[in-house]
Chain A
């Protein structure tokens, strides 16, 4: 039953002043919006600001969300994207490239070497993605990480599918060039892990 209460209904209740409905709605989308914002902005603080403003905007002007056009999640993604672009405009460039150090020690319960390698890979991937031009970055994040369909992305960023495809292609080219040394490492790491798993088996 809880999953069947639609986003629209929850939003309506939240708009009427039901905090529980709002919390429910927030809990449903918080992780995705934060993740998306973080991958766009590359900074926890900026991502938190975007997430906060996203949900605040939803409450302030619920009429902006039209269920017949897109899902609430897509709407929130667009809102987050707009906020991120606004931040870019306001500050000229993305901030906080120095936050990796405190953010990368997340992977718990791994063996030390694997953990270190994972952390380094995480940082390198983040750097590589952050170095992409904003339009390519958002296309990549929406497609690869958030799993949105091409036409959804196209309607969200206000362009056609072909343009999204070409942005994705160029983004991948760049990433491939930038991450070439790690592509091999990643393959080896996977292989060695498989061997370990096989041996354990």
Chain B
């Protein structure tokens, strides 16, 4: 085999040369694979343009009486190779197996002669070539749009339904059984497809991986996954997925996804995209639902809080004291320059059955004597020639002019039915005289002799006012403002949480809370807390405290309280 090269060195190199040659000869060349001969032969036939498969088949050696399994399509009446599950022409499922001897394939003595004994490869592969040649059918897929094809499919399903309904009515049980069997077989065949299974597995694995990573991230951060982190992760995952799909789509353009043919590759990719979309929709729906539920919970919690706050206001508390005198707000007692408490009052009534009705007070004056007493009823004389306004005897500083369009009446009354009240003396109320209220005289309120403020007539001084005053027992008092502080009857100790015990958490939780007048602990705020749920335990313990509410002037009132809970481990 090897010719010699001109000697170029001493004897040693020649020996090495021989060794090298013998070494080189040890490189063993493997046999070509069995498909090479077939490929070459196929290419030759294709190149020669011999379309007649039978004529070509004569060129290939074929074992006699060889049985080729074929499937029969009931729609196009053609036979296809065993490996086909659906008719390549019209897509009908191929179920019926036909076995028939291939008698038309004959041995070619000339070819057998020409094939050397050392090439059994070519001889064994002829039948495969025949089947492969026979199965090729051009499938034309119409170029209708997606909606058009969908409409066609829906129409087809409707038509099928029309056709099958009578049969179903005739024999519902048998029909259902047959349909189930048929669809089951189709589904089994579909899932037996390697590409389908691979595509499904890839999609499911990818989604499980995604969900797992989200779960891990969620667990890694105690406060739950942050929104920014989540969005970043979703973006990265989306880009990666898009990248995978793009690569696969490219692959499908040039060849195959997972070794599938071109069309199947595209289908597989679209299938995977659809699967991912469905998964993402499901997850997105879950997240949205979760978010919505949280919102509702938050709203309910807020409402509860509000209700709680309402409950805190005790109903039985009396309305605030109106103050010593007057309808005006302020600290003074009357028109006199020096601060002085006013006194006196008035009352009246026209002996009516009904209580005095609500209304405004007429103009008050201490200097102008009362000519006409106030009357809630409309005047008997319309448009009088000489009108005289009703007045009361009271300090105008304490009873300011009332501009409201209202009938006269008792400002403290709740009755709206016009009445002067059961009193006497033409005033309004239950007293005597021309004033308003339960007293005697032309003034306002309890007391005697006019003016306002109770007791005997006395002019006050120091400015407007006298009104208001009193204490709002509804507000929350601090400890130093109450008469007696809240008295705790029982104070349950909070329990340690398992996590806190594990993590050896110790310390003090300081809470601020309201011991309400109704006997509940509300508005608990943590001033300083501890981790691992100890603050929550302390709050729960605080809620279950039993106590006697604080009091002020004999009224039970709410008060602020600071609570400290020590958590120690021994």
CA distance A49 to B14 in the complex (A): 38
Is the CB of B386 closer than 8 A to any CB of chain A? no
Question: 9 A-B contacts, Cβ less than 8 Å apart?
Answer: A23-B111, A30-B32, A30-B40, A52-B40, A106-B28, A125-B26, A140-B24, A143-B5, A190-B22
Is the CB of A70 closer than 8 A to any CB of chain B? no
CA distance A26 to B29 in the complex (A): 18
Question: Are B24 and A187 in contact, with the CB atoms below 8 A?
Answer: no
Is the CB of A160 closer than 8 A to any CB of chain B? no
Chain B residue at minimum C-beta to C-beta distance from A27 = B116
Is the CB of B31 closer than 8 A to any CB of chain A? yes
Given A24-B114, A27-B115; A143-B30 close (CB under 8 Å): no
Given A55-B40, A106-B30; A186-B22 close (CB under 8 Å): yes
- In which size bucket is the chain B interface? 35 or more
A interface residues with partner B (beta carbon < 8 Å) = 14, 17, 19-20, 22-24, 26-27, 30, 34-35, 38-39, 44, 47-48, 51-52, 55-56, 59-60, 103-104, 106-107, 118-119, 121-122, 125-126, 129, 140, 143-145, 147, 149, 165, 168-169, 172, 175-176, 179, 182-183, 186-187, 190
Residues in A whose Cβ lies below 8 Å from that of B48: 17, 19, 59
Nearest-neighbour CB distance to chain B for A199, whole angstroms, equals 21
Contact of B44 among A19, A35, A182 (CB under 8 A): A19
Residues in B whose Cβ lies below 8 Å from that of A14: 44
Contact with A along B1-42 (1 / 0, CB 8 A): 111011010000000110111111011111111011101110
Is the CB of B331 closer than 8 A to any CB of chain A? no
10 other A-B residue contacts (CB within 8 Å) besides A23-B122, A24-B114, A145-B27: A27-B115, A34-B29, A47-B32, A59-B47, A119-B28, A125-B26, A125-B27, A144-B24, A179-B20, A183-B16
Contact of B24 among A26, A103, A118, A145 (CB under 8 A): A145
Residues in A whose Cβ lies below 8 Å from that of B44: 14, 19, 22, 55-56, 59
Chain A residue at minimum C-beta to C-beta distance from B18 = A187
Contact of A125 among B23, B39, B119 (CB under 8 A): B23
Residues in B whose Cβ lies below 8 Å from that of A182: 23
Question: Are B114 and A121 in contact, with the CB atoms below 8 A?
Answer: no
Question: Are A176 and B30 in contact, with the CB atoms below 8 A?
Answer: no
Contact of B33 among A20, A48, A129, A176 (CB under 8 A): A48
Contact of A52 among B36, B45, B119 (CB under 8 A): B36
Is the CB of B110 closer than 8 A to any CB of chain A? yes
Chain B residue at minimum C-beta to C-beta distance from A19 = B59
Given A20-B114, A23-B111; A183-B40 close (CB under 8 Å): no
Nearest-neighbour CB distance to chain B for A184, whole angstroms, equals 8
Q: Which 6 A-B pairs have the closest CB atoms?
A: A103-B30, A125-B27, A121-B26, A19-B59, A122-B28, A183-B19
Task: List B residues 104-131 near A (Cβ within 8 Å).
Answer: 110-111, 114-116, 119, 122
Question: Are B47 and A23 in contact, with the CB atoms below 8 A?
Answer: no
CA distance A121 to B3 in the complex (A): 22
CA distance A176 to B21 in the complex (A): 10
Residues in A whose Cβ lies below 8 Å from that of B110: 20
Nearest-neighbour CB distance to chain B for A36, whole angstroms, equals 9
Is the CB of B43 closer than 8 A to any CB of chain A? yes
CA distance A125 to B23 in the complex (A): 7
Nearest-neighbour CB distance to chain A for B125, whole angstroms, equals 13
Instruction: Name the residue in A47, A119, A144 with the highest tally of chain B Cβ atoms < 10 Å from its Cβ.
Output: A144
Nearest-neighbour CB distance to chain B for A74, whole angstroms, equals 15
Residues in B whose Cβ lies below 8 Å from that of A19: 41, 44-45, 48, 59, 111
Given A34-B36, A56-B43, A147-B2; A126-B23 close (CB under 8 Å): no
Contact of A39 among B27, B35, B37, B114 (CB under 8 A): B27
Nearest-neighbour CB distance to chain B for A113, whole angstroms, equals 15
Residues in B whose Cβ lies below 8 Å from that of A183: 16, 19-20, 23
CA distance A7 to B19 in the complex (A): 36
CA distance A140 to B1 in the complex (A): 12
Nearest-neighbour CB distance to chain A for B28, whole angstroms, equals 5
Question: Are A172 and B30 in contact, with the CB atoms below 8 A?
Answer: no
